[in-house]
Amino acid sequence: MPWPSAAALLAPLAPWFDRVRRDLPWRAQNLDAPHTDPYAVLVSELMLQQTQVATVTPYFVRWMDRFPTPAALAAASEDTVHKTWEGLGYYRRARFLQTAAASVAAEGWPNDLAGLAGLPGLGPYTAAAVGAIAFQWPTPALDGNAFRVLARLVRIEGDPRLEAANLRDWLTPALVEHGPSRLTQALMELGATLCLPNPACAACPLADACRAFQEGCTASIPPPAKRTPVQKVDLWLVALETEGRFLLREPASRGLLAGLWRWPALPAEDLPAMAPAPTGQVAWPGWTQVYTHRREAVSPIYLRLDHSFPAPEGLRWVPRADLPALPLGKRDQRLRDLLDTPGQIPLQTPGLTALIQAMGSTGW
């Protein structure tokens, strides 16, 4: 590890951060003391996984208003928790947060990094970030942004994640020297605002010391990650109404969409015989729903039957008045919102009965 001292290299970062730092609702004013509310740090770190600050901020404020303490969150119903998280995506984080809050409410905060890392949903990065920002522990938090900044700073040519252990050892004395909370947040801020994939080096406080910048190789450091192929699917998203009730899929207890209600969705390819023409029978224009490894071309439709039938297994008839209170993912919220727009007319097509039967036989 022939890198110059991290404490010396990163010395300009702390004063830069004190000048430019944004006022965020979870950020302490005093970065030299433990945070007065470690729970706020935990909530913000889990919300910020995979999600931008601008999106997280209003959710954080609402969340802390509704669940101001670990005990309040632990006591909330799962539906209330999911409803409050609705729209933020990656709902597993909400469940982890509630389980972690229950542990903290019952047993207090862990007193070391291993204890934090043992809380649900806290991987090594989040545990280290909470340790540094909430408790002032010199625990290096290395996420994609931090790896990019540090790899460029000392010029690591290959995948910097392979150097994680060395980088942590190297960074620890700098955290002690410049303050764990301040330096951790300064690194995060630099990675989020200047040291982007296309970096703004002219404005960077580390430009004089940064090897990648000085040697003209920022574009190739770090090397691009291998991308997982994106799966593409065409599907119908179906709001089926009869007698004032809609048919919805009940929440799964596990998996990415656990805790969320969903509209029945049918891959278009499963219905070649009765797939209607896209015009005239699809009630609204479709949209593309983008997930990390999946793109869905969604065709929303609204159907009404004049008679009810028993809900297939895993589905339930839900009164229209109950729809607003159900926690739904982003895609499914969008169809719920469409139903609320005035003047919507459900489809009554000759192929409706066959369509319903096909939905049943494909298991929804």
Residue 204 in the binding site for ligand SF4 (CB under 6 A): yes
Which of 149, 188, 238, 315 binds ligand SF4 (CB under 6 A)? It is 149
Number of residues near ligand SF4 (by CB under 6 A): 14
Q: What three-state secondary structure class fits 241?
A: strand
Which of 145, 184, 218, 289 binds ligand SF4 (CB under 6 A)? It is 218
DSSP state letter for 251: P
Residue 13 in the binding site for ligand SF4 (CB under 6 A): no
Q: Which is nearer to ligand SF4, 43 or 195 (CB)?
A: 195
Q: What three-state secondary structure class fits 219?
A: helix
Residue 188 in the binding site for ligand SF4 (CB under 6 A): no
Burial (CB count <10 Å: 0-12, 13-18, 19+), residue 347 = middle
118-137 footprint of ligand SF4 as x/- string (CB under 6 A): --------------------
Q: Which is nearer to ligand SF4, 154 or 328 (CB)?
A: 154
Which of 42, 56, 153, 188 binds ligand SF4 (CB under 6 A)? It is 153
Shortest CB 161 distance to ligand SF4, Å: 17
The position carrying tokens 């990094």 is 113
Ramachandran angles phi, psi of 241, nearest 5°:
-115, 140
Shortest CB 13 distance to ligand SF4, Å: 9
Helices of type H across the chain: 6-9, 13-20, 38-48, 53-66, 70-75, 78-85, 92-107, 113-117, 124-135, 144-154, 164-178, 180-193, 211-214, 330-340, 352-361
Considering the candidates 45, 163, 189, 296, report the single residue annotated as catalytic: 45
Residue 207 in the binding site for ligand SF4 (CB under 6 A): yes
Residue 212 in the binding site for ligand SF4 (CB under 6 A): yes
Rounded CA separation 221/212 (Å): 7
Stretch that binds ligand SF4, among 89-97, 147-155, 258-266, 304-312 (CB under 6 A): 147-155
Residue 154 in the binding site for ligand SF4 (CB under 6 A): no
Token representation of residue 283:
């009630």
Q: Which is nearer to ligand SF4, 40 or 210 (CB)?
A: 210
Residue 156 in the binding site for ligand SF4 (CB under 6 A): no
The position carrying tokens 């969008």 is 334
Which of 63, 67, 85, 213 binds ligand SF4 (CB under 6 A)? It is 213
Output Rg (C-alpha) for the chain, integer angstroms.
Answer: 25
Question: Is 86 a known active-site residue?
Answer: no
Residue 17 in the binding site for ligand SF4 (CB under 6 A): no
Stretch that binds ligand SF4, among 64-72, 74-82, 127-135, 198-206 (CB under 6 A): 198-206
Q: Which is nearer to ligand SF4, 128 or 187 (CB)?
A: 187
Closest to 283 (Cα-Cα) out of 241, 328, 327, 224: 241
Residue 201 in the binding site for ligand SF4 (CB under 6 A): yes
DSSP calls for 86-120 = TTS--THHHHHHHHHHHHHHHH---SSHHHHHTST
Residue 142 in the binding site for ligand SF4 (CB under 6 A): no
Residue 152 in the binding site for ligand SF4 (CB under 6 A): yes
DSSP state letter for 261: B
Shortest CB 55 distance to ligand SF4, Å: 24
Closest to 119 (Cα-Cα) out of 97, 143, 136, 92: 97
Burial (CB count <10 Å: 0-12, 13-18, 19+), residue 361 = exposed
Q: Which is nearer to ligand SF4, 142 or 335 (CB)?
A: 142
Size (the chain), residues: 364
Active site residues: 45
**Residues interacting with ligand SF4, by CB under 6 A?**
149, 152-153, 194-195, 199, 201, 204, 206-207, 210, 212-213, 218
